[in-house]
Amino acid sequence: MSTQNLSAYNQQELPPKEALAGQRYAIAVADWNSDITHSLLNGAIETLVMHGVKRENITTIHVPGTFELTFAAGQLSKNHPKPDAIIVLGCVIQGETPHFDYVCQGVTTGITKLNADGNIPVIFGVLTTNNLQQAIDRAGGIHGNKGIEAAITAIKMSNIIW
């Protein structure tokens, strides 16, 4: 089976840096599995900055775990000035109990509701993996960094022209 780095994207599809310089982004990151989630966070921040977002226009908050990301995103959507997009980053690794299912379902439902009911895109950057190696592979490993993908998605979604 071949592996593919899924973090590759076409930079030509993104707005010019000048357009992003005035935009604001917010990131909520779970500190559970921090070796993974902080790698996702670094990938997201560096990608936003590389494409023109000013570091001072990126708000980051840390929450204990992935389940708490929905509340954090809801609070970030009330910030003034409002962010152009919110990114949530977390990592849930399958264990021996159904806790994995409850956390994954809860955060997925919560973020979906925020997107359906709100006017700010909330980008789902949560890894749900069977084991630690799969998480490592998606946090800067052979499958790229899903934090990068979340940042690109945030840029694209916040720049949809109506």
Which residue, 89, 87, 91, is CA-closest to 114? Answer: 87
In three-state secondary structure terms, 104 is helix
Contact, 45 vs 60, CB < 8 A?
yes
**Residues designated as active site:** 99
Residue 64 to residue 53: CA distance in whole angstroms: 27
Strands 144-145 and 139-141: antiparallel
